[in-house]
Copies of this chain bind each other. A is one copy, B any other.
């Protein structure tokens, strides 16, 4: 429909001064999003970037697209309305972990259930940044924050698990600093039809600095990150010699070449498998025993809310004799004086 669009990431920069702290992971994510969007072949005016409230939620102001900085927790619900009303738009939600999973938790799970074709980026810094350092639903138990001076006593959510529990069909994970991977995932999320949830592990230098440090640590990151790609083997490690195998109903890290393990024993990633069991295990992997799973972990095609709605409208319209308001007014029981 639209002519081929040639855009660069600069087209997506707005004229607003970027006001995140120096060193905040949000800067890298912003760059990744701008670069990825330039590659999507979508005209700039078709993007709608919608956010709640939080440091991360300032995002729309920095994007030279249509943007909406809404109220705390409601990004997903507002975006659901926008996309349902106007399926032609490419809708992107930016959520913090508090915004998306605390006050916005209900909209988050229902969005997944409905499978509306939009993309939601969850910037997970395990803290409330904007309000200066309270624990969030993803803060690790025991963490001392402004509202938990003696350590939190709450189990955190794992956002990916919540997606699965809510019938979610798409979940991917990246890290702020891995801009290439983030871009790759964003483009994949864009191409996926249905709700795409992308968790981005993000560093807040002020209130939860280094919270993902175990995985991002320069020295060890290759041993601590497993980047999954559909159809490829689950291999990682500095020497590319580590892999995952199934041991009963559990995953196990093995070393290729040791104990008779060969390349062929290693699991192949199937993001399209409907049954969520393996995805669940991957999402759940934690250090030190396991690497963190990155990449598109789950991507399952299913029917899409707004498409079904349009189809239902089209079919009712086709069969109904009522074509406009005047018809409706005169339908059913009437009488004339």
Q: Mark A88-117, 1 if CB is under 8 A from B, else 0.
A: 000000000000001101100110011100
Would you call B110 and A105 a contact (CB within 8 A)? yes
Q: State the Cβ distance, A302 to closest chain B Cβ, in Å.
A: 7
Q: Which of A43-51, A304-312, A322-330 binds B?
A: A304-312
Q: How many residues from A make CB contacts under 8 Å with B?
A: 42
Would you call B165 and A164 a contact (CB within 8 A)? yes
Would you call A137 and B113 a contact (CB within 8 A)? yes
Please, how many angstroms separate the alpha-carbon atoms of A160 and B167 in the complex? 11
Would you call A249 and B276 a contact (CB within 8 A)? no
When distances are taken between beta carbons in the complex, the residues of chain B under 8 Å from A316 are: 150
Q: Which of A210-254 contact B (CB under 8 A)?
A: 246, 249-250
When distances are taken between beta carbons in the complex, the residues of chain B under 8 Å from A312 are: 150-151, 153
Would you call A154 and B114 a contact (CB within 8 A)? yes
Would you call B153 and A113 a contact (CB within 8 A)? no
When distances are taken between beta carbons in the complex, the residues of chain B under 8 Å from A158 are: 167
Please, how many angstroms separate the alpha-carbon atoms of A154 and B246 in the complex? 34
Would you call A157 and B150 a contact (CB within 8 A)? no
Choose among B105, B150, B309 the residue that contacts A106 (Cβ–Cβ < 8 A). B105
Choose among B103, B155, B281, B315 the residue that contacts A302 (Cβ–Cβ < 8 A). B155
- Beyond A105-B106, A246-B249, A277-B280, 10 additional pairs, beta carbon < 8 A: A106-B106, A109-B109, A110-B137, A113-B157, A151-B312, A157-B167, A158-B167, A161-B165, A162-B166, A280-B280
Closest 6 CB pairs of A and B: A165-B165, A153-B308, A106-B106, A105-B106, A162-B165, A161-B165
Q: List 9 A-B contacts (CB under 8 A).
A: A150-B316, A151-B312, A153-B303, A153-B305, A153-B308, A153-B312, A161-B166, A162-B166, A165-B166
